[in-house]
Amino acid sequence: MATHRYSFVVTLVSFFLAQHGCEARVLLNNNNNVNNVGFVRAQAAETCERYKVSEVFRDASAAGLSVCRTWAFRDGGDRALQISPATYDECVFQGDDNMLNGQEVQELKSMGTTTSTHIPLSKDTYYKDHIKRVLTRYNTIVTRMTYIITAWELMNEPRCQTDYSGRTAQEMASFVKSLDRKHMLEIGMGGFYGDGMPEKKQNNPGISRGDENAEMGFRMTSHWEDANNILKKPLVIAEFGKSSKDPGFTQLPPEMIS
């Protein structure tokens, strides 16, 4: 379904809506069409590799997808965004600009993950400085970047084994919203039930019941029902794919499979 290119995204129960003035159109219904393309940041940072980024977004658009989940960070290794604390590689930032431009060309929206799961939220100053740098930077290519962003994500699959209260996440969420009140914000959780619903822990990732396909069905159904009936919010399934353990699994493109 076509969306408003220059509009902010809001939620209405289990729907994502692209809102423009008094009008609103359905963008996503329970995340039917979000794809995870965090890997393209490496290609976007290299001028000679950027055609691959364009190809990914062109294929995503052709497949009917409307939102791409991408990383707004790259820690360590080749083409790191943050070379050292508070020191950034502007060339990598410009690669991000190019990546967002590629999404705009294909009329796609972007969901940006701000930090890696390996950075403890307890390091408040470090985290806040990084968030401020990313969220307040001016895009060098796309002047309408704010409309391309669907939502920000606090962290990629955060883990905290010492504080289950959620206070730290709430504090960081408040800080992000103090910088940007126009875009939605999600935590970035990996789909884990906590002590508040112990009967649902059997649907957490990593819990094996022998049949992987059946397990995935149980988890998806459980999260979908609870998002609709309890949270009254849309469900984002941002990482998915065929398991390498499945019979007949191959990385070959469909046209090469007989």
| Inside any domain, residue 150 | yes
Q: In what order do the strands lie in the sheet with 15-20?
A: 8-12, 15-20, 23-29
pLDDT of residue 22: 46
pLDDT of residue 33: 52
Residues 6-44 have pLDDT tens digits of 577 878 777 777 765 544 455 554 444 556 666 677 777
What average pLDDT is seen over the chain? 76
Range in 77-86, 112-121, 184-193, 221-230 the model is least confident about = 112-121
User: What domain count does the chain have?
Assistant: 1
Residues paired with residue 226 on neighbouring β-strands, in sequence order: none
| Inside any domain, residue 141 | yes
User: Among all residues, which ones are annotated catalytic?
Assistant: 157, 239
Residue 114, C-beta contacts closer than 8 angstroms, at least 6 positions apart: 72, 73, 130, 131, 134, 135, 152, 153, 154, 155, 176
Rg (CA), the chain: 19
Residues 46-60 have pLDDT tens digits of 788 888 888 888 888
- Amino acid identity for residue 115 in this structure: T
| Inside any domain, residue 182 | yes
Query: What domain range is 106 assigned to?
Result: 32-190
CATH number at residue 104: 3.20.20.80
Residue 111's pLDDT band, with cuts at 50, 70 and 90, is: confident
Q: CA-to-CA distance for 113 and 67, rounded, in angstroms? A: 13
| Inside any domain, residue 127 | yes
| Inside any domain, residue 212 | no
